[in-house]
Amino acid sequence: MIDCHCHLLPGIDDGPETLEESIGMARALRQLGFTEIYCTPHSIPGMYETSPQDVLEGVARLQRALTEAGITLRLRPGMEYYLDTFFPSRLVNPQPLGSSRLLLVEAPSWADAELVRRNVLQIVQAGLVPLIAHPERCHLLRVDVPRAGVLGELGRMLTGRGGARGAGAVRFSPFVAELQGMGCLFQGNIGSFAGRYGRQASQRAAGFLAGGGYSCLGSDSHPFYNLDEMLGEGLKKLESLDGGHDQLYRPAVLAD
Ligand SMILES: [Fe+2]
């Protein structure tokens, strides 16, 4: 099982502060079933000025420590870029996910569609593939899921929308569809399925999954979460939903 989004490197962002803390998180992730982890610290100008060199060195150091501790996890470099107005300068020397062309990016909560669109275009023009982190947490990236039961049926009759039930009835907002058309892929947070980020994010995550909107999943682990609880519940919930999880846990887009 591959984790495409994880704040596991020590002393680099709001992830663990010490190597020991990183090792503890890695042990928990291994026990949950992960075998490969992309270490994706934040890159936010003025807050986390992380360079690809920092990430590569951090990954090598932590990988050695995990081997010594007997934890069989393969670490890979990555970064989580913030799509703000300063973002284009980061494309001079970007750090994609491992040897892929995927660039993990997050839309700031305050960003408007135009800013996201402009940045995405720059990524595509640089020959990279934008992988949007946890779209279910972003207000710009809506997905409509028909409500089940009598209320949903009534709503469908009154509005004439979402006539069919099931996966075919999921509708991505025009902006999500536009980003998909530009070549964007989407990464879901496992904790979203457990309601860790609220009901709306949980409903949107189920919608993205049902509509085939995700290309991969990530833990988005930070030390301030109870990983056993958050990810254990999220993985269990994912088991109960349709959506082709195997491809998401071992995504083709990251194949060597
Ligand atoms: Fe993150």
Reported as a single tens digit per residue, the pLDDT across 3-59 is 999 999 999 999 999 999 999 999 999 999 999 999 999 999 999 999 999 999 999
Kindly report which listed range (58-72, 118-132, 168-182) carries the lowest average pLDDT score.
Answer: 168-182
Q: How far apart are the CA of 13 and the centre of ligand 1, in A?
A: 10
What's the burial of 55, exposed, middle or buried (CB within 10 Å: 0-12/13-18/19+)? buried
Of the pLDDT bands very low, low, confident and very high (cuts 50, 70, 90), residue 255 is confident
Q: How far apart are the CA of 189 and the centre of ligand 1, in A?
A: 9
Q: How far apart are the CA of 30 and the centre of ligand 1, in A?
A: 19
Q: How far apart are the CA of 42 and the centre of ligand 1, in A?
A: 7
CATH of the domain at 99: 3.20.20.140
Q: How far apart are the CA of 231 and the centre of ligand 1, in A?
A: 14
Our count of domains for the chain comes to 1
pLDDT mean over 145-158: 53
Torsion of CA 138, 143, 146, 151, to 10 degrees: 40
List all residues 6 or more positions away from 211 whose beta carbon is below 8 Å from its beta carbon.
143, 167, 170, 171, 172
Give the pLDDT of residue 135.
96
Q: How far apart are the CA of 7 and the centre of ligand 1, in A?
A: 6
Q: Look at strands 36-39 and 2-6 and give their pairing.
A: parallel
Q: How far apart are the CA of 223 and the centre of ligand 1, in A?
A: 12
Token pair of 144, please?
């409509």
Q: How far apart are the CA of 6 and the centre of ligand 1, in A?
A: 6
Structural domain range at position 29? 2-254
Closest CA to 2 of 97, 87, 82: 97
Q: How far apart are the CA of 160 and the centre of ligand 1, in A?
A: 38
List all residues 6 or more positions away from 197 whose beta carbon is below 8 Å from its beta carbon.
134, 136, 137, 189, 191
Q: Does the pLDDT value for residue 157 go beyond 80? A: no
No. of helices (H) and no. of strands (E), the chain: 8, 11
Give the pLDDT of residue 164.
38
Q: How far apart are the CA of 193 and the centre of ligand 1, in A?
A: 16
138 vs 79: CA distance, rounded Å: 19
